[in-house]
Amino acid sequence: MKCIRKASVKHVLTSTKRAELTRSFEEEKVQLEREIKQLEFQYHHAQKKTPSQMVPSLKEKFDHEINRRQEKQQSLQFKMDQLNHLTEGSELFFEMTDVLIDVEVGSKWVSAENALTIVVKDGVIHEIRESENRET
């Protein structure tokens, strides 16, 4: 019989993974910058077509969207700074996933309270760990 179980996926920080993450963060920052410029263009274009009494609410709407993207950029910069401070070999949590496990009569039952962790190094599963989560 097969059962579905939750597992956390962690990646080991290597020079390859660091470069991949840095590139991904940079690409996302560039995309956000494009979106900000597009929103500024759209605001100026809409401002010309909007009655003057509606301009303050229009500006507020566009400012809110621009600020959201600027906050995301700051968050990405913070993540990049933190990434640069991490040592190689550090494990970074990436996601929770469902895994399919085989259970048979006579096999050891593993409680769902025990954390299952899949460790990935340079795109290859490096280790599968099962540890007990006990609060004491």
Instruction: Quick: pLDDT tens for 109-128.
Output: 767 677 889 999 999 999 98
The whole-model pTM stands at 0.76
Tell me if 136 is assigned to some domain.
Answer: no
Please give the pLDDT value at position 136: 39
- Residues 9/118, Cβ–Cβ less than 8 Å: yes
Could you identify the residue written with the tokens 């900000």? 36
Q: Is residue 134 part of a domain?
A: no
Number of domains in the chain: 1
- Inside any domain, residue 96: yes
Which regions of the chain does DSSP assign to beta strands (E)?
2-12, 91-102, 114-121, 124-132
Q: Does residue 136 sit in helix, strand or coil?
A: coil
Residue 101, domain extent: 1-128
pLDDT in tens, 2-55: 888 889 999 999 999 999 999 999 999 999 999 999 999 999 988 888 787 887
In a domain, 11, yes or no: yes
